Amino acid sequence: EPEVTQTPSHQVTQMGQEVILRCVPISNHLYFYWYRQILGQKVEFLVSFYNNEISEKSEIFDDQFSVERPDGSNFTLKIRSTKLEDSAMYFCASSARGPNTDTQYFGPGTRLTVL
């Protein structure tokens, strides 16, 4: 069964460093998302991406964050200058269709630890 994959599973970085989290969405999906979950808290939406552009972003997704689909299979989240409060699980998700129509499938997550 097709699934969303994410690498790395765990990333440790120093405050102020740049990190890139990588995702391979399900191959025929067109909509891509990033969510995060701080330990013990709920899953929060960061950004959605369709047709090579951001379709929606949350207040969390400030200028330090960016997303890219560099080729036909990868979808990345970059944090330019990490802060301690960026420590969280980051989940990539994808769906086949858009609003009101289809399910989002989540990857296993990348645990980001900022020291």
Which residues are at the interface with another protein (CB under 8 A)?
Answer: 4, 31, 33, 35, 41-45, 48, 55-56, 58, 89, 91, 95, 98-100, 103-109, 111
31 versus 79: smaller Cβ distance to another protein: 31
The rounded distance, in Å, linking the Cα atoms of 16 and 79 is 9
Measured from the CB of residue 54, what is the shortest distance to another protein in angstroms? Answer: 11
Inter-residue contact 82 to 13 (CB < 8 Å): yes
Q: How far is the CB of 83 from another protein (least distance, A)?
A: 22
Please say which residue, 82 or 95, places its beta carbon nearer to another protein: 95
CB of 73 to another protein, least distance (A): 19
Q: Which residue has the tokens 């440790």?
A: 12
Quote the CA–CA distance of 36 and 60 in Å, as a whole number.
10
Asked if residues 90 and 44 have their Cβ atoms less than 8 Å apart, the reply is no
